[in-house]
């Protein structure tokens, strides 16, 4: 399911907590604003020591056609990179190709925190 579609049939408050940002090689799984799991798309394995785990998403980074990066405090959109700026070490991912809701079986398989 792609979340960046403008016609959401439910007009009320969004109650779901989990979302998944998909990049070329990696899935970043979030509960609220915190990254709770990172999974390699090729192997399907969770990456237990990834720098994004247990970090808060700070915003997105959009790249201009001239190569300059434009940071934003807004949640990343498709075509932007995820930006983690807390915890002293900055992390910028590759570009997001989709934003989805993870399947229940995948949420249940998240590594313990």
Mean local confidence (pLDDT), 14-42: 92
User: What predicted TM-score, i.e. pTM, was given to this entire model?
Assistant: 0.83
pLDDT > 70: percent of the chain: 86
Residue 72 neighbours by CB under 8 Å, 6+ apart: 59, 60, 61, 62, 80
User: How many Cβ atoms from other residues are within 10 Å of residue 37's Cβ?
Assistant: 25
Q: For 83-107, how does the pLDDT look when each residue is reduced to its tens digit (9 = 90+)?
A: 999 877 899 999 999 999 999 999 9
Please provide the size of the chain in residues.
113
């Amino acid at each position: 399911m792609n979340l960046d579609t403008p016609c959401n049939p439910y007009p009320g408050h969004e109650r779901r907590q989990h979302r998944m940002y998909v990049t070329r090689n990696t899935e970043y799984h979030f509960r609220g604003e915190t990254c709770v799991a990172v999974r390699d798309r090729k192997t399907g394995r969770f990456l237990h020591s990834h720098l994004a785990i247990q970090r808060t998403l700070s915003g997105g980074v959009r790249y201009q056609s001239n190569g300059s990066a434009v940071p934003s405090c807004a949640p990343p959109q498709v075509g932007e990179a995820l930006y983690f700026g807390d915890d002293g070490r900055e992390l910028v991912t590759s570009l997001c190709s989709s934003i989805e809701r993870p399947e229940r079986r995948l949420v249940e398989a998240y590594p313990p925190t």
